[in-house]
């Protein structure tokens, strides 16, 4: 893969992540406005999930390790 192709792929991925970030932020803001969830509750939930997932083999690790063994 050429340097330009890698740069384009990285840019595309970054743009997708920006869209997902905007979508998620909008959803959380809407839930806050409706009184369903607070920012603090949201952050605690994220921390809990990250802590619980530590040490586990992730789907991406499995997905991208196929054929490399």
Residue 62: predicted pLDDT: 84
- pLDDT confidence of residue 55: 83
Round to whole Å and give the CA distance between 42 and 20: 17
Q: What is the pLDDT along the chain (69 residues), one digit of tens a residue?
A: 788 888 889 999 999 999 999 999 999 999 999 999 999 999 999 999 999 988 888 878 888 886 555
Residue 58: predicted pLDDT: 82
pLDDT at 66: 66
What is the pTM assigned to this prediction? 0.66
**Do residues 39 and 32 lie in contact, with contact meaning Cβ atoms separated by under 8 Å?**
yes
């Amino acid at each position: 893969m050429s340097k330009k192709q890698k740069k384009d792929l990285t840019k595309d991925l970054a743009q997708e992540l920006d869209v997902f970030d905007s979508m998620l932020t909008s959803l959380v803001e809407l839930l806050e406005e409706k009184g369903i969830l607070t920012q603090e509750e949201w952050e605690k939930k994220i921390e809990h999930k990250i802590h619980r997932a530590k040490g586990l083999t992730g789907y991406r690790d499995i997905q991208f390790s196929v054929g490399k063994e």
